[in-house]
């Protein structure tokens, strides 16, 4: 395959596979690139310069860099539900069929109507919006803001459910090496040779870092030779893991690193069962940061014109991708490094019109090079670039002030490099200024992290290799992995690193950009200084400098330098911003992993779940559980019909309900009773063996925490039940009480919630049914097994079970517990035994109706804001013992007479419906907060009474039975006259219970 | 963040839940005063620096632990079981 | 099961959740053996009775009580550390576990858990890589040798896992999760292991 | 009434006209938004803390009470605390009578803020929608919505279909915790957070308040139980009254006066996505996890979740909570999978024992405390300043802030919206 369709592709060279052409589309036109290309290199190979429009002014923008720092070349990658906005073309590996659209332009990239903003530019300076759009106030939401919002933003999110899946993973290592360039590889080799477990990550799909972009020699041979040998050795070390396409995005406490691995992003769609991305939590005892450095642009008029490119990026495109970023180049450099670009351009056949360098006394080796490649040397600076959608010429100003225009389609800019030290500041430590290299270098480091090579401001290849080897070795040795003799550091070819940075060239015509992506100009920074936004955080927040998706990777320093110039301070006096994680933006899906949709959190299934399914249950989420809500029968069209039937079946006959979800805690020990005395507000010492008791637990602050029945199975053996919702919380609480408060108590506890399936059998015929289930040797007659009896029995011919005579419904009722595996068999056996009695399965709705009919409190009343007294349970609070919450429950506010207390309600007009959440207001009183007397906690339709009933908390409630009041429900436009009544609506004498 | 559980070894913070300052001691018994209890329940030193605090290894061994941690840096100086903490606590 | 002369049928913890089969387009990197019918009891040593408990178990089962996070096994029983002063006794058959514990009164608080756990054995060349997608504990062979156990959580589900042995394809892990969350655990395991290929079998070993 | 002003020092009013005029002059005429003042030896009132609450307090001392011999001292730069680190939500959807009128005053002040302080803080009343996922949650939201309506606050209880019509892109298909409806406060919304600090600073400065940056308090001068001034890194400053408005650092300052507070400092993380074209035009909170999300005028999705849960002054958190937030995001809104999180950061929250704030005297005469804002401090900024200024000026609480007493933990008159009890990390 020839490169003829790619006019800017070099004939040979580079790390692309010319035998594997790939088709792709950009803005709906078809192009070709090669395997090994990035989208950016493929676009450049096809002569595409204009790739996007800027954020505020909609200026035409091209490709600035060849890496993750790219501020301009952001595209919408892929289409439909897979569309990924703001994707950097420079790090997007080309794949067959890739589709990308330019963004932030309308109607088209070449002709963008919003570029009119450029004309408004003078008014749209930093902070302009703080100064206007204030009148009239209502216009903000109606007019100004919608306009601003529509114009703002970059790409368009897919807006559809992401079809790909993600996962998480956890890894551990002795030494994590971040960055797979020469320093990182040397570090991984040194650590790996010692036997340490090493993980080497690089964001690129290919290891080698800058070596891939440079024409360098190591030990007298092309660097590629060293590189392949080093990678082969790493691959041979069993405890070294190499992770390509893996970005270490954040440094967290105690050696935890966040890493995102782009498993399938280099493919059109993920292969079957493969995630798109995987987010890793890597725990490393030591880490070496070898993330390299990021080249710095120079601020001058028109510096954002497509065709102005970082000089190092030019070398990447030439050498790694075999692409000519232009045909007529000018190099503008403030250091020796730019001259290398001139050399490489010439070697690739690009005409270098001039090398512009403001420095005097440049190394003659460099100036000699210019002569050999036929480039003019101009001592001066580029003051402006012109061309609009593609660079046509640059204005060069000599030291004398003389200006001339030089035609070119590529300007390579070199202003030195900033260490990629972002990760070092993730724990809020600040980088420090190194005057010798005119750059910030890492300051105080996160514990366990060291920095090698360019990331430490040691920019030469020789330093990278030496640093890497030394730090990799030291990191391993630090934790006990000693290497044999240190191998000699490889010898590299010479390189120049002299630099005298130029932050800004003033006086050119047009806007000079500091932050390309947020369209922050030098004038914006000057304005910020004028208005007093001088501290660097103010500068950043006022101008939005460094706040774009690139977090200012190419802009922060120039911004600081210009502010320093305005305030007459140095750069370090002006300050630096700390970089916040993530290093590069991370897909939300990746960090969520498996946990979305149904898998957001585990679902707990009762051991009788499939039995309920077979009975046709409608299920409902109840905290972590799925519970049977009701069991509709054919012909029942609404839930209330089903629930009414279930309630009446229980009240008139017998019903069966799964209650396995209750928390069950086995408590044993000589002091178990004493322990219960302290955690419950009511007494437990006197509870007889074989009996159950209702217990109420307070928090230490005196409010009710949880309730449940606790049974004494033996002298030193109790079984506590908790509410479903609080099971875990109560277990933790009891462990706290035992381990922290009262370690001297001889008590042991363990959750047995999962082992037991439990069902309530309730209704006048419950005993008759149970007698057909419980093995005959157990006498469960009313005399032998009275109310609140709790004993071990057997069922089904010897299966160990527990039977409790307790009732939530107020009926004669039992709870039967069997090992969970027998849960469904128990339900079947109870149904079979009950068939003659018309037994009916009932769900949580009917359970709720019956507990409201009986005035029992549940979750809506146990709100954490109620006291025992509020709930009518004040008498349970013992005065004879110390227990959790005893003293705080006595506080003034908790015993105030006026506190709303639990009471019952019924509508004066029985046809009217009640609603939980309605507030109580006196008849004739205005519905205002001042007249609010409480609220309805729970309501139900009572099929026994034939009308709605409610429980609620009302000021002086118990003293007001018979009084009428209103249940006001403005959010549902309800206002119902209700009568205050006893909270026990059914069988207030409790005769059914004892039947 | 990692916490080295004395029973289980170093584990991710995700396995633990936090209660707070380990210093306040519950005024136990019938003689305790409401004021002392209110202080125990509500008042905290809340230092910026070394802090002895209670953590619960809920997703692990269910042990309550005393962790000495710097609230400015999150650096952990010690993790003790309740028994160790009591043995080492100043009288 | 069916240790008792009952007509009731017990339902396994994995029943209705996962059945034997192959879950993948290709490959068989992960073997899952669903284990039903184990006897499980939690033992918490009574105050100052840990040495006595150890001796009782030693004489009864020939296993010495682990004092740290490890598991010891005989042909029929495993004792797994489950927190300070706590263990799980895992018997190959649930029928005998109550009897195993019968002599421990006074030495330990015993609570049966046989039906409260869903248990599986995970092995295969990709077992560790699969576990790494949810397990927050370092399972490298050096960090997690044969016999080691961890109480931890995977995908927000509490697990007890131990490396029971090394087989031909490397480490073999035993994993226990709460019965009520077996479905969610399988959802995670299946999603995590599919790329390597999961082969599920039932195991009465 | 405004105090005496130095007319020459007043910067010009901000308006479309001044902007146009300055545009023609190349913006050369803009003056500093506030003076960078040096400390004077003494002030009538010294406000410690140059965050939103401190600056608002100073502004209202001047504008409402004519007290202008006031300085705000800030250890770093103004707005460096939570006012510049939050998720910018404003609302007054509170349940309890101790809270609702206060937050409603705050919302009313937000509604007139820009005209009052002549600074566009982009107060955007786009609505705050709290979703519910169970019957019990619906009942609780009905209770809360009704409490709001009784207090004169707008509230609408939406069913599932009404929610779907408003935010159709959420997960209504296979959510672990299905969306059943929501409580909507239409007047809630968001504000450009930094602008609040700058706007109050500029407005206070115009009324004569000194704003002193890089001035850290190192000690409180207390004489016979009465405050007389403070020691700072820029020397001692005398003051008749000293007002603490230092959020996460409240306990550290209180300790200088020998006080312990019912407060723990916790880290709350916040997140922003890359800039996107408009996706969501309201604030949504997920009721089945801790998660809230909105979109800034610049296009970034701004979102957050639960606090990390441990005491921290580090202004940063850890991965478990970050992942929890992302999982909630995906559970609620599966279309976010390919949207990228751009930055995350943390703030220090002064978590109180009942989840509600304190605006009160302290046992030290002349020393006033404004603290315990938990993670709700931003929305409270105007009313906090307004009521704190009232307390300082008149030595009596403002009528909507009478419940925010320091002694309420001893008396039991706690304001516990969640019913979580005296454990700060559960609020």
Task: Measure CB to CB from residue B26 to each of A253, A741, A881 and give the nearest one.
Answer: A741
Among the three residues D352, D372, D403, which one is the final residue of a domain in this structure?
Answer: D352
Is A433:A520 a contact under the CB 8 Å cutoff? no
Alpha helices in D170-318 (DSSP H): 193-206, 250-256
Give the DSSP letter of residue A859: T
Reading the block at residue B53, the tokens are: 């605090």
User: Which residues of chain D does B65 touch, with a Cβ-Cβ cutoff of 8 Å?
Assistant: none
Backbone φ and ψ of B88, nearest 5°: -90, -5
A253 vs A281: CA distance, rounded Å: 12
The confidence score (pLDDT) of residue D1 equals 40
At A327-374, the pLDDT tens digits run 999 999 999 999 999 999 999 999 999 999 999 989 999 999 989 999
Is D273:D340 a contact under the CB 8 Å cutoff? yes
| Min Cα separation C20/chain B (Å) | 30
Alpha helices in D176-317 (DSSP H): 193-206, 250-256
D348 plus D255 within the same structural domain: no
D233 plus D256 within the same structural domain: yes
User: Which residues of chain B does D258 touch, with a Cβ-Cβ cutoff of 8 Å?
Assistant: none
A754 CB near a chain C CB, below 8 Å?
A: yes
Task: Measure CB to CB from residue B11 to each of C83, C136, C158 and give the nearest one.
Answer: C136
CATH code of residue C158 = 3.30.1360.120
Inside any domain, residue C27? yes
Distances (CA, A) of A300 to A115, A506, A536, A677: 20, 6, 22, 79
Q: Which chains touch A (3 or more CB pairs under 8 A)?
A: B, C, D
Is the pLDDT confidence value at C33 over 60?
yes
Q: Which of A746, A682, A732 is nearest to A709 (CA)?
A: A682
At A495-511, the pLDDT tens digits run 888 999 999 999 999 99
User: Which residues of chain B does C153 touch, with a Cβ-Cβ cutoff of 8 Å?
Assistant: 14-15, 59
D38 plus D156 within the same structural domain: no
Task: Measure CB to CB from residue B41 to each of A170, A256, A701 and give the nearest one.
Answer: A701
Q: Which chains touch D (3 or more CB pairs under 8 A)?
A: A, B
The confidence score (pLDDT) of residue A343 equals 97
Q: What percent of chain D has pLDDT over 70?
A: 97
Specify the pTM: 0.97
D200 plus D114 within the same structural domain: yes
The confidence score (pLDDT) of residue B89 equals 59
| Min Cα separation D332/chain A (Å) | 8
Is A850:C33 a contact under the CB 8 Å cutoff? no
C124 plus C26 within the same structural domain: yes
Q: Which of A140-144, A914-918, D293-297 has the lowest mean pLDDT?
A: A140-144
A49 vs A47: CA distance, rounded Å: 6
C96 plus C47 within the same structural domain: yes
User: Which residues of chain C does A670 touch, with a Cβ-Cβ cutoff of 8 Å?
Assistant: 47
Residues in chain A: 995
The confidence score (pLDDT) of residue C4 equals 55
Optimal mutation site among A165, A748, A818, interface C, most CBs of chain C within 10 A: A748
Reading the block at residue C30, the tokens are: 């992960």
The confidence score (pLDDT) of residue A134 equals 81
Residue of D nearest to A928 (CA): D150
A752: CB partners within 8 A, 6+ apart: A664, A665, A666, A719, C111, C112, C113, C116
D149: CB partners within 8 A, 6+ apart: A927, A970, A971, D155
Determine whether the interchain pair D313/B71 forms a contact, defined as Cβ–Cβ distance below 8 Å.
Answer: yes
The confidence score (pLDDT) of residue A2 equals 47
Inside any domain, residue D237? yes
Inside any domain, residue D82? yes
Task: Give the H/E segment covering residue D23.
Answer: helix D16-24
Structural domain count of chain C: 2
D23 plus D163 within the same structural domain: no
User: Which residues of chain C does B62 touch, with a Cβ-Cβ cutoff of 8 Å?
Assistant: 83
Q: Which of A39-43, A118-122, B8-12, D238-242 has the lowest mean pLDDT?
A: A118-122
Optimal mutation site among D75, D310, D416, D426, interface B, most CBs of chain B within 10 A: D310
Optimal mutation site among D180, D315, D412, interface A, most CBs of chain A within 10 A: D412
D349 vs D268: CA distance, rounded Å: 7
C173 plus C86 within the same structural domain: no
- What's the pLDDT band for C205 if we cut at 50, 70, 90? very low
D268 plus D258 within the same structural domain: no
Inside any domain, residue C12? no
CB contact residues (below 8 A), chain A span 580-599, against chain C: 594-595, 598-599
Determine whether the interchain pair A161/D15 forms a contact, defined as Cβ–Cβ distance below 8 Å.
Answer: no
Is the pLDDT confidence value at A420 over 50?
yes
Diameter of chain D by CA atoms? Answer: 66
At C71-85, the pLDDT tens digits run 999 999 999 999 999
Residue of A nearest to B53 (CA): A740
What would the mean pLDDT of A930-939 be, rounded to a whole number? Answer: 98
The confidence score (pLDDT) of residue C204 equals 55
Determine whether the interchain pair D422/B48 forms a contact, defined as Cβ–Cβ distance below 8 Å.
Answer: no
Reading the block at residue D30, the tokens are: 């803009």
Task: Measure CB to CB from residue A732 to each of B28, B38, B56 and give the nearest one.
Answer: B56
| Domain encompassing residue D359 | 7-92+95-119+193-262+354-426
D201 plus D102 within the same structural domain: yes
Q: How many CB atoms lie within 10 A of CB A29?
A: 9
At C96-145, the pLDDT tens digits run 898 899 889 899 999 999 999 999 999 999 999 999 999 999 999 999 99
What would the mean pLDDT of A303-326 be, rounded to a whole number? Answer: 98
- What's the pLDDT band for D10 if we cut at 50, 70, 90? low
At A785-810, the pLDDT tens digits run 999 999 999 999 999 999 999 999 99
CATH code of residue C77 = 3.30.70.1520
B9 CB near a chain C CB, below 8 Å?
A: yes
CB contact residues (below 8 A), chain A span 631-690, against chain C: 666, 668-670
Inside any domain, residue D306? yes
Among the three residues D329, D352, D375, which one is the final residue of a domain in this structure?
Answer: D352
Q: Which of A130-139, C61-70, C88-97 has the lowest mean pLDDT?
A: A130-139
Inside any domain, residue C9? no
Task: Measure CB to CB from residue B8 to each of C86, C151, C158 and give the nearest one.
Answer: C151
Is the pLDDT confidence value at A37 over 70?
yes
Cis check for the bond before A582: say yes or no (omega within 30 of 0).
Answer: yes
C107 plus C55 within the same structural domain: yes
At D305-341, the pLDDT tens digits run 999 999 999 999 999 999 999 999 999 999 999 999 9
> Residue D45: CA atoms inside 13 Å, Cβ hemisphere, count?
30
**pLDDT-flagged residues of chain B (< 70):** 89-91
Q: What percent of chain A has pLDDT over 70?
A: 100
Backbone φ and ψ of A865, nearest 5°: -110, 5
Task: Measure CB to CB from residue A752 to each of C15, C111, C187 and give the nearest one.
Answer: C111
Structural domain count of chain D: 2
Is B21:B51 a contact under the CB 8 Å cutoff? yes
What would the mean pLDDT of C157-174 be, rounded to a whole number? Answer: 97
Among the three residues C112, C141, C176, which one is the final residue of a domain in this structure?
Answer: C112
D73 plus D107 within the same structural domain: yes
Q: Which chains touch B (3 or more CB pairs under 8 A)?
A: A, C, D
D167 plus D66 within the same structural domain: no
C104 plus C152 within the same structural domain: no
**What's the alpha-carbon Rg for chain A, to the nearest Å?**
38
Secondary structure (3-state) at D230: strand
Give the DSSP letter of residue A93: B
Task: Measure CB to CB from residue B8 to each of C69, C86, C158 and give the nearest one.
Answer: C69
A452 vs A294: CA distance, rounded Å: 15
Q: Which of A954, A795, A932, A785 is nearest to A866 (CA)?
A: A954
Inside any domain, residue C11? no
- What's the pLDDT band for C5 if we cut at 50, 70, 90? low
User: Which residues of chain A does B29 touch, with a Cβ-Cβ cutoff of 8 Å?
Assistant: 882
D273 plus D303 within the same structural domain: yes
The confidence score (pLDDT) of residue A110 equals 84
At D195-233, the pLDDT tens digits run 999 999 999 999 999 999 999 999 999 999 999 999 999
> Residue A674: CA atoms inside 13 Å, Cβ hemisphere, count?
12
CATH code of residue D290 = 3.30.9.10
C32 plus C128 within the same structural domain: yes
| Domain encompassing residue B35 | 2-87
Task: Measure CB to CB from residue A971 to each of D30, D155, D318 and give the nearest one.
Answer: D155
D207 plus D114 within the same structural domain: yes
A739 CB near a chain B CB, below 8 Å?
A: yes
| Min Cα separation C122/chain A (Å) | 17
Is B42:B32 a contact under the CB 8 Å cutoff? no
Is the pLDDT confidence value at A114 over 80?
no
D143 plus D173 within the same structural domain: yes
User: Which residues of chain A does C194 touch, with a Cβ-Cβ cutoff of 8 Å?
Assistant: 273
Inside any domain, residue D141? yes
Q: Which of A686, A752, A766 is nearest to A719 (CA)?
A: A752
Inside any domain, residue D2? no
> Residue A989: CA atoms inside 13 Å, Cβ hemisphere, count?
4
User: Which residues of chain D does B46 touch, with a Cβ-Cβ cutoff of 8 Å?
Assistant: 251-252, 260-261, 263-265, 311
Distances (CA, A) of B60 to B8, B10, C132, D108: 7, 11, 17, 49
At A517-551, the pLDDT tens digits run 999 999 999 999 999 999 999 999 999 999 999 99
At C39-53, the pLDDT tens digits run 999 999 999 999 999
CB-neighbour burial class of residue D12 (10 A; exposed 0-12, middle 13-18, buried 19+): middle
A172 vs A596: CA distance, rounded Å: 26
Inside any domain, residue C171? yes
A690 vs D350: CA distance, rounded Å: 49
Task: Measure CB to CB from residue B14 to each of C83, C84, C136 and give the nearest one.
Answer: C136
Report how many Cβ contacts below 8 Å link chain A to chain D.
364
CATH code of residue D21 = 3.50.50.60
| Min Cα separation A832/chain D (Å) | 33
Optimal mutation site among C70, C87, C136, C149, interface B, most CBs of chain B within 10 A: C136
Report yes or no for ipTM above 0.90.
Answer: yes
Determine whether the interchain pair A625/C133 forms a contact, defined as Cβ–Cβ distance below 8 Å.
Answer: no
User: Which residues of chain A does D147 touch, with a Cβ-Cβ cutoff of 8 Å?
Assistant: 919, 929, 932, 935
Is the pLDDT confidence value at D9 over 70?
no
Residue whose pair of structure tokens reads 């950097």 in the numeric block: A88
Is A917:D141 a contact under the CB 8 Å cutoff? yes
User: Which residues of chain C does A480 touch, with a Cβ-Cβ cutoff of 8 Å?
Assistant: none
Say how far residue A372 (Cα) sits from the centre of its chain.
Answer: 55
A755: CB partners within 8 A, 6+ apart: A664, A819, A820, C111, C112, C113, C114, C115, C116
CB-neighbour burial class of residue A443 (10 A; exposed 0-12, middle 13-18, buried 19+): middle
Residue of C nearest to B59 (CA): C152
Residue of B nearest to C148 (CA): B8
Q: What average pLDDT is seen over chain A?
A: 95
CATH code of residue B13 = 3.30.2270.10
Residue of B nearest to C144 (CA): B9
Sheet arrangement for strand A663-668:
A692-698, A704-714, A717-722, A663-668, A748-751
Inside any domain, residue D1? no
Structural domain count of chain B: 1
A606 CB near a chain C CB, below 8 Å?
A: yes
Residues in chain D: 427
| Domain encompassing residue C103 | 39-112
Which has more pLDDT, A123 or A479?
Answer: A479
Residue of C nearest to A797 (CA): C6
With vertex at residue A758, the alpha carbon angle to CA A757 and CA A762, rounded to the nearest 5 degrees, is 155
Q: Which chains touch C (3 or more CB pairs under 8 A)?
A: A, B
Task: Give the H/E segment covering residue D348.
Answer: strand D340-352
Written in H, E and C, the secondary structure of chain C is: CCCCCCCCCCCCCCCCCCCCEEECCCCCCEEEEEECCCEEEEEEECCCCHHHHHHHHHHHHCCCCCCCCEEEECCCEEEEECCCCEEEEEECCHHHHHHHHHCCCCCEEEEECCCCEEEEEEECCCHHHHHCCCECCCCCCCCCCCCEEEEEEECCEEEEEEEEEEECCEEEEEEEEEHHHHHHHHHHHHHHHCCCCEEEEEECC
The confidence score (pLDDT) of residue D11 equals 59
Determine whether the interchain pair C132/A625 forms a contact, defined as Cβ–Cβ distance below 8 Å.
Answer: no
- What's the pLDDT band for A577 if we cut at 50, 70, 90? confident
Determine whether the interchain pair B71/D309 forms a contact, defined as Cβ–Cβ distance below 8 Å.
Answer: no
User: Which residues of chain B does D425 touch, with a Cβ-Cβ cutoff of 8 Å?
Assistant: 18, 20
What would the mean pLDDT of C24-30 be, rounded to a whole number? Answer: 85
With vertex at residue B58, the alpha carbon angle to CA C122 and CA A259, rounded to the nearest 5 degrees, is 65
Residue whose pair of structure tokens reads 């209700």 in the numeric block: A978
The confidence score (pLDDT) of residue D3 equals 44
Reading the block at residue B72, the tokens are: 């400015």
- What's the pLDDT band for A874 if we cut at 50, 70, 90? very high
Q: How many CB atoms lie within 10 A of CB A977?
A: 13
Among the three residues C91, C112, C133, which one is the final residue of a domain in this structure?
Answer: C112
Among the three residues D352, D378, D398, which one is the final residue of a domain in this structure?
Answer: D352
Is the pLDDT confidence value at A3 over 70?
no
A320 vs A343: CA distance, rounded Å: 15
């Amino acid at each position: 395959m020839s490169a003829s369709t790619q006019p800017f592709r070099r004939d040979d060279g580079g790390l692309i596979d010319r035998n594997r052409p790939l088709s792709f589309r950009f803005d709906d036109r078809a192009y070709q690139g090669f395997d090994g290309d990035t989208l950016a290199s493929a676009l450049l190979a096809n002569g595409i310069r204009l790739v996007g429009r800027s954020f505020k002014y909609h200026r035409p923008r091209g490709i600035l860099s060849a890496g993750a720092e790219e501020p301009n070349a952001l595209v919408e990658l892929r289409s439909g539900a897979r569309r990924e906005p703001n994707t950097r073309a420079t790090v997007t590996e080309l794949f067959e069929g890739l589709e990308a659209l330019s963004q932030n332009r309308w109607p088209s990239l070449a002709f963008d109507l919003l570029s009119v903003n450029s004309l408004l530019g003078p008014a749209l300076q930093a902070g302009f919006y703080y100064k206007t759009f204030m009148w009239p106030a209502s216009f903000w939401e109606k007019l100004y803001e919608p306009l601003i919002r529509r114009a703002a933003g970059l790409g368009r999110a897919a807006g559809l459910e992401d079809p790909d899946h993600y996962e998480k993973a956890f890894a551990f290592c002795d030494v994590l090496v971040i960055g797979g360039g020469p320093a990182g590889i040397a570090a991984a080799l040194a650590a790996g040779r010692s036997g340490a477990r090493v993980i080497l990550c690089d964001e690129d799909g290919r290891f080698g870092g800058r070596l891939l972009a440079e024409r360098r020699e190591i030990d007298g041979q092309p660097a590629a030779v060293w590189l392949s040998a080093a990678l082969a050795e790493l691959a041979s070390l069993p405890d070294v893991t190499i992770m390509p396409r893996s970005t270490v995005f954040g440094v967290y406490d105690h050696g935890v690193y966040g890493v995102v691995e782009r498993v399938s992003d280099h493919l059109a769609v993920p292969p079957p069962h493969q995630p798109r991305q995987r987010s890793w939590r890597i725990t490393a005892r030591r880490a070496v940061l070898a993330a390299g450095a990021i080249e710095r642009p120079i601020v001058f008029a028109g510096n954002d014109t497509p065709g102005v490119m970082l000089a190092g990026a030019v070398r990447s495109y030439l050498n790694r991708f075999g692409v000519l970023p232009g045909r007529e180049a000018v190099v503008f450099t403030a250091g020796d490094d730019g001259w290398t670009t001139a050399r490489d351009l010439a070697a690739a056949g690009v005409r270098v019109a001039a090398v512009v360098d403001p420095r005097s006394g440049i190394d003659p080796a460099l100036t000699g090079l210019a002569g050999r490649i036929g480039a003019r040397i101009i001592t001066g600076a580029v003051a402006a670039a012109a061309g609009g959608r593609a660079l046509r010429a640059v204005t060069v100003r000599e030291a004398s002030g003389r200006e001339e225009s030089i035609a070119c389609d590529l300007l390579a800019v070199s202003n030195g490099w900033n260490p990629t030290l972002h990760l070092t500041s993730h724990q809020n430590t600040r980088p420090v200024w190194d005057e010798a290299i005119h750059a910030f270098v890492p300051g105080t480091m996160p514990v366990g992290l060291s920095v090698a090579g360019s990331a430490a401001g040691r920019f030469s290849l020789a330093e990278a290799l030496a640093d890497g080897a030394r730090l990799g070795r030291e990191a391993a040795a630090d934790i006990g992995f000693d290497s044999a003799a240190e191998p000699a550091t490889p010898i590299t070819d010479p390189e120049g690193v002299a630099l005298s940075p130029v932050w800004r060239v003033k006086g050119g015509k047009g806007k000079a950009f500091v932050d390309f992506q947020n369209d922050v100009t030098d004038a914006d920074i000057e304005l910020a200084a004028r208005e007093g936004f001088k501290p660097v955080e103010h500068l950043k927040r006022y101008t939005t400098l460094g706040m774009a998706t690139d977090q200012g990777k190419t802009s922060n320093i120039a911004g600081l330098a210009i502010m320093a110039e305005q305030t007459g301070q140095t750069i370090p006096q002006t300050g630096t911003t700390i970089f916040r994680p993530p290093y590069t933006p991370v897909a939300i899906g990746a960090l969520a992993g498996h946990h979305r949709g149904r898998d957001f959190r585990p679902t707990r299934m009762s051991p009788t779940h499939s039995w309920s399914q077979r009975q046709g249950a409608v299920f409902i989420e109840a905290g972590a559980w799925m519970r049977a809500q009701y069991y509709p029968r054919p012909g029942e069209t609404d839930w209330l019909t089903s629930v009414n039937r279930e309630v009446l079946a229980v009240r008139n006959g017998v019903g069966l309900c799964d209650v396995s979800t209750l928390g069950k805690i086995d408590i044993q020990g000589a002091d178990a009773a004493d322990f219960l005395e302290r955690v419950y507000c009511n007494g437990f010492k006197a509870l007889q063996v074989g009996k159950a008791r209702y217990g109420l637990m307070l928090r230490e602050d005196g409010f009710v925490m949880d309730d449940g029945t606790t049974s004494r199975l033996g002298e030193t053996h109790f079984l506590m039940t908790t509410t479903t919702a609080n099971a875990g919380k109560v277990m933790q609480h009891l462990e706290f009480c035992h381990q922290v408060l009262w370690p001297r108590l001889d008590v042991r506890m363990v959750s047995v919630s999962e082992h037991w399936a439990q069902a309530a059998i309730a209704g006048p015929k419950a005993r008759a049914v149970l007698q057909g289930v419980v093995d005959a040797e157990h006498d469960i007659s009313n005399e032998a097994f009275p109310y609140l009896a709790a004993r071990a029995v057997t069922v089904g011919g010897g299966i160990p079970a527990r039977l409790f005579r307790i009732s939530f419904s107020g009926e004669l009722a039992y709870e039967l517990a069997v090992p969970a595996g027998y849960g469904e068999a128990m339900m079947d056996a109870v149904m079979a035994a009950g068939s003659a009695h018309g037994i009916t399965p009932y769900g949580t709705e009917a359970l709720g109706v019956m507990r409201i009919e009986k005035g029992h409190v549940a979750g809506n009343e146990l709100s954490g804001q109620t006291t025992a007294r509020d709930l009518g349970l004040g008498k349970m609070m013992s005065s004879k013992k110390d227990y959790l919450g005893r003293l705080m429950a006595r506080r003034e506010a908790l015993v105030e007479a006026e506190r709303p207390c639990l009471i019952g309600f019924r509508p004066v007009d029985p046809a009217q419906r009640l609603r939980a959440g309605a507030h109580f207001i006196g008849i004739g009183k205005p519905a205002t907060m001042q007249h609010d007397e409480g609220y309805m906690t729970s309501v139900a339709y009572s099929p026994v009474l034939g009308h709605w009933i409610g429980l609620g908390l009302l000021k002086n409630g118990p003293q007001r039975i018979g009084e009428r009041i209103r249940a006001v429900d403005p959010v549902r436009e309800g206002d119902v006259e209700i009568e205050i009544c006893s909270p026990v609506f059914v069988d207030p004498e409790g005769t059914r219970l004892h039947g | 963040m990692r916490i080295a559980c004395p029973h289980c070894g170093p584990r991710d913070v995700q396995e633990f839940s936090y209660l707070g300052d380990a210093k306040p001691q519950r005024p136990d018994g019938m003689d305790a005063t409401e004021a002392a209890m209110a202080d125990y329940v509500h008042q905290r030193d809340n230092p910026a620096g070394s802090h002895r605090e209670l953590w619960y290894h809920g997703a692990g061994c269910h042990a309550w632990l005393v962790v000495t941690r710097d609230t400015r840096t999150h650096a952990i100086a010690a993790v003790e079981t309740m028994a160790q903490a009591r043995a080492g606590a100043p009288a | 099961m069916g240790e008792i002369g009952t007509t009731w049928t017990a339902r396994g913890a994995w029943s209705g959740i996962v059945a034997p089969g192959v879950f993948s387009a290709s490959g068989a990197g992960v073997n899952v053996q669903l284990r039903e019918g184990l006897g499980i009891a939690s033992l918490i040593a009574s105050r100052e009775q840990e040495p006595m408990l150890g001796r009782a178990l030693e004489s009864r089962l020939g296993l010495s009580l682990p004092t740290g996070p490890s598991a010891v096994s005989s042909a029929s029983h495993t004792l797994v550390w489950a927190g300070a002063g706590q263990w799980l006794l895992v018997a190959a058959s649930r029928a005998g576990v109550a009897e195993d514990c019968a002599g421990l009164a006074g030495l330990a608080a015993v609570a049966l858990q046989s039906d409260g756990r869903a248990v599986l054995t995970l092995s295969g060349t990709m077992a560790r890589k699969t576990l790494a997608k949810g397990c927050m504990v370092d399972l490298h062979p050096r960090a997690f040798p044969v016999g080691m156990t961890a109480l931890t959580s995977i995908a927000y589900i509490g697990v007890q896992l131990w490396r029971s042995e090394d087989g031909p394809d490397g480490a073999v892990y035993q994993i226990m999760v709460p019965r009520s969350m077996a479905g969610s655990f399988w959802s995670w395991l299946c999603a995590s292991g599919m790329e390597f290929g999961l082969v599920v079998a039932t195991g009465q070993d | 009434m405004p105090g005496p002003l130095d007319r020459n020092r007043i910067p010009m009013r901000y308006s479309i006209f001044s902007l146009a005029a300055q545009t023609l002059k190349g913006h050369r005429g803009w003056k500093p938004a506030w003076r960078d003042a040096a400390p004077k030896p003494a002030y009538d009132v010294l406000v410690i803390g140059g965050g939103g609450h401190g600056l608002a307090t100073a502004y209202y001392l001047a504008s409402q009470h004519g007290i202008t011999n006031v300085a705000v001292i800030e250890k770093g730069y103004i707005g460096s605390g939570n006012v510049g680190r939050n998720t910018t939500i404003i609302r007054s959807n509170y349940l309890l009578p101790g809270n609702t009128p206060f937050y409603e005053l705050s919302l009313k002040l937000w509604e007139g803020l820009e005209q009052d302080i002549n600074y566009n803080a982009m107060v955007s009343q786009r609505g705050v929608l709290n979703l519910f996922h169970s019957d019990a949650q619906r009942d609780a939201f009905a209770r809360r919505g009704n409490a709001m309506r009784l207090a004169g606050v707008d509230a609408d209880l939406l069913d599932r279909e009404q929610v779907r019509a408003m935010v159709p892109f959420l997960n209504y298909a296979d959510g672990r915790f299905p969306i059943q409806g929501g409580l909507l406060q239409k007047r809630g919304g968001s504000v450009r957070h930094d602008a609040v600090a700058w706007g109050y600073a500029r407005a206070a400065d115009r009324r004569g308040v000194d704003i002193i940056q890089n001035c850290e308090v190192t000690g409180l001068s207390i004489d016979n139980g009465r405050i007389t001034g403070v020691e700072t890194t820029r020397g001692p400053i005398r003051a008749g009254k000293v007002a603490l408005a230092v959020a996460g650092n409240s306990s550290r300052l209180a300790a200088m006066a020998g006080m312990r507070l019912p407060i723990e400092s916790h880290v709350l993380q916040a997140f922003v996505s890359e800039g996107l074209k408009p996706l969501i035009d309201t604030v949504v909170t997920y009721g089945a996890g801790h998660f809230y999300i909105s979109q800034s005028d610049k296009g970034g999705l701004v979102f957050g979740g639960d606090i990390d849960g441990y005491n921290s002054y580090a202004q940063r958190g850890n991965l478990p909570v970050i992942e929890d937030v992302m999982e909630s995001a995906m559970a609620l809104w599966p279309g976010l999978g390919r949207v990228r999180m751009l930055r995350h950061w943390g703030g220090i929250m002064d978590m109180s024992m009942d989840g509600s704030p304190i605006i009160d005297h302290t046992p030290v005469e002349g020393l006033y405390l404004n603290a315990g804002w938990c993670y709700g401090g931003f929305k409270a900024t105007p009313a906090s300043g307004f009521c704190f200024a009232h307390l300082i000026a008149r030595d009596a609480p403002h009528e909507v802030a009478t419940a925010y007493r320091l002694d309420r933990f001893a008396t039991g008159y706690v304001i516990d919206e969640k019913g979580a009890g005296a454990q700060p990390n559960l609020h």
